Amino acid sequence: MFINQFLIFAAVLFCIGVYGVLTRKNGVLVLMSIELILNAVNINLVAFGALHQHVAGQVFALFVIAVAAAEVGVGLAIVLLIYRNRRSINVAEANLLKG
Amino acid sequence: MIEFVRPHIDWHAFAPELIVLFWGALVTIVDLVFLERARRIMGPLTGIGFLLAMIPVLTLWDQADDLPRVLFDGAYVVDNYALLLKGLFLISGYVIVLLSSNYMAEGDYYDSEFYQLIGASILGMLVMTSARDLISIFIALELLSIPAYLMAAWRKRDLKSNEAGLKYMLMGVFASGILLYGMSLLYGAAADTRLSEIGAALADGESTPLVTLGVLFTIIGFAFKVSAVPFHTWAPDTYEGAPTPLTAFLAVASKTAGFVALLNVVLFAFGDQSDLVEPFMWILAAATMTVGNLVALRQTNIVRMLAYSGIGQAGYMLAPLAVYGNRPAQAQQAVVIYLLIYAAMNLGAFAVVIIAARKTRSGEIESFGGMLRYAPGITLAMTIFLFSLSGVPPMGGFWAKFWVFKVLTDGWELWGTLLALVVAVNSVVAAFYYLNVAKQMWFLPTRDGDESPLVIPPALVAAVAITVAVTLITGVTGLVPDWADFPALAAAP
């Protein structure tokens, strides 16, 4: 079983996700980058589950998928709220609070 | 074909969570059936639910000989550590409902849903105290966080509240992504999700890159939740923009839950990785308390000041984890004592901020001027909270710091003693800004000259009374260490 290729793929996906979260200004794209991070996690979990012949990894991945759906649901609701009030989903413009 | 065997479930040990769950469902149904007519009773109804859930906590505490009670193959453990924290979360939940009732009703927000979400979040915290498995820790963390994202953006038309919700949600979701990546690596290293099994797999103390990354990412994920520097940037903005009762909830209950998760993972899974975790915690603790206290010095808004002071306090709470390797039981005890006392004094301070804002409609520290003239009782209560937060002897906060010092200086090892020095210097710095608020209240004139006595709603009086009582009783009697004696960990190798 070649575990490395899955781990490297997941690590690359994770790095792309982190880069996206840190550089993207569009709220929806930030959420999509977070989805990439969570998918990297799922690949890791399933690959390790297959390596160890252990079912908990796949169960964990199912939980992550379900919770990610809830997180994105709430996240999009908040982004929509921002859009309604200021006609923009640029997260860099949300700078009323500072200090 | 594997035969399905129904696992044995200890319903009594699981009762507090079940009561909060079913009571939450009941509150939702009452809301759906009676709509507007039920609005006025929603707050009290939710509060009663939290108090009902205290009953099984107390009966379990009473049967101390049966503890710890282990459920689901060791994934869920009810011991006196978990019970003490369950009690803390339920009482904090009750106090936060008391704080919310007038704020929500007078601000014309959606209040029924707000209480249901508080219930969901408290349920997540109750699960967190007993979770000894990566999956249940993750589920508990999300169950307590997701409702909080919504509640932070609760004032729909207010741009500041929107922004508070957005920042909290993005940082929170990003942090849970990092946490999950760390957890997936830990699962890969240990081939099990239970903390005890992970602890056994990492017991040789050997640090492969896989383990090192897993441990650090997991801790960083929780560091966001407890707003440790440099992962604290969301906290002051979210605290200022969110509705004030929710700020109290985030600063106390949510932060405590983050610490509980951190304690569970560090003590039960990373027990033999102290060579890796301790230096990281040392830096995190020292940076958190120093940055928090220094930035708090120049704040003019009371909520932002309390936010940065909360960051500083989180640094004190992280400090025992920098020396947990040789004495895990004492470190655990010190953190739990701090969490209990911090909850009481900080909730109390936020209660006073909410009361003062009813008159002054302002969050500036200067608006506290002359409070002695129109609300002497509240002034006295706030003085008690401020003295306690800065750690002056007869108050609870003194004992909280005392136990942190005791565990840090035990044996006078170099790094522990150095960190104790950092804590001492920070406590002196912190006293400046806490006592500045007290000075405003006692010695300066009111800003608008209106000195007619302030009428305070009974719910807020009750909240202040509960928190003052806990702060004073823990301070005068020094009682908490007797409860926070956790034999389970002390017995473990």
Interface touch B173/A31, C-beta < 8 Å = yes
For an interface test with A, the pick among B180, B237, B247 (most A C-beta atoms closer than 10 Å) comes out as B180
Phi, psi for B464 (deg, rounded to 5): -65, -40
The percentage of chain A sitting over the pLDDT mark of 90, rounded to a whole number, equals 61
Residue B69 DSSP code: E
Which pLDDT score, from 0 to 100, does residue B491 have? Answer: 42
CA A10 – CA B204 distance, rounded (Å) = 27
Which pLDDT score, from 0 to 100, does residue B488 have? Answer: 56
Q: By C-alpha distance, which of B322, B212, B221 is closest to B262?
A: B221
Cβ neighbours of B178 in A, within 8 Å? 18, 37
Domain boundaries in chain B? 273-493
Interface touch B146/A64, C-beta < 8 Å = no
Residue ranges of E strands in B237-356: none
Total domains, chain A: 1
Tokens of B154: 């609760």
Q: How many contacts does A have with B, using Cβ atoms within 8 A?
A: 126
CA B263 – CA A47 distance, rounded (Å) = 28
Phi, psi for B377 (deg, rounded to 5): -65, -45
CATH code for the domain of A77: 1.10.287.3510
Which pLDDT score, from 0 to 100, does residue B139 have? Answer: 94
Q: ipTM of this model? A: 0.94
Nearest to A71 among B146, B160, B163 (CB): B146
Section A88-92 average pLDDT: 79
CA A10 – CA B309 distance, rounded (Å) = 39
Which pLDDT score, from 0 to 100, does residue B458 have? Answer: 86
Domain range for A86 is: 3-91
In a domain, A97, yes or no: no
Nearest to A71 among B156, B173, B299 (CB): B173
Which pLDDT score, from 0 to 100, does residue B61 have? Answer: 86
* pTM, 2 dp: 0.92
Which pLDDT score, from 0 to 100, does residue B205 have? Answer: 66
Cβ neighbours of B163 in A, within 8 Å? 82, 94-97
Which pLDDT score, from 0 to 100, does residue B233 have? Answer: 86
Residue ranges of E strands in B175-322: none
In a domain, A74, yes or no: yes
Classify burial at B5, counting beta carbons within 10 Å of its beta carbon; exposed 0-12, middle 13-18, buried 19 or more.
exposed
For an interface test with B, the pick among A74, A79, A80, A91 (most B C-beta atoms closer than 10 Å) comes out as A74
* Mean pLDDT in order along chain B per 10 residues (493 residues): 78 90 92 84 89 91 80 84 91 92 75 88 93 93 93 86 89 93 91 88 80 91 89 89 90 92 90 86 92 90 90 92 86 90 92 86 79 85 91 85 88 86 91 88 78 82 90 80 63 41
Q: Which residue of chain A has the CA closest to B299?
A: A99
Q: Which residues pair with B77 in a beta bridge?
A: B70
Interface touch A34/B135, C-beta < 8 Å = no
Over chain A, what is the mean pLDDT?
A: 89
For residue B109, the tally of other CB atoms under 10 A from its CB is: 16
Which pLDDT score, from 0 to 100, does residue B484 have? Answer: 67
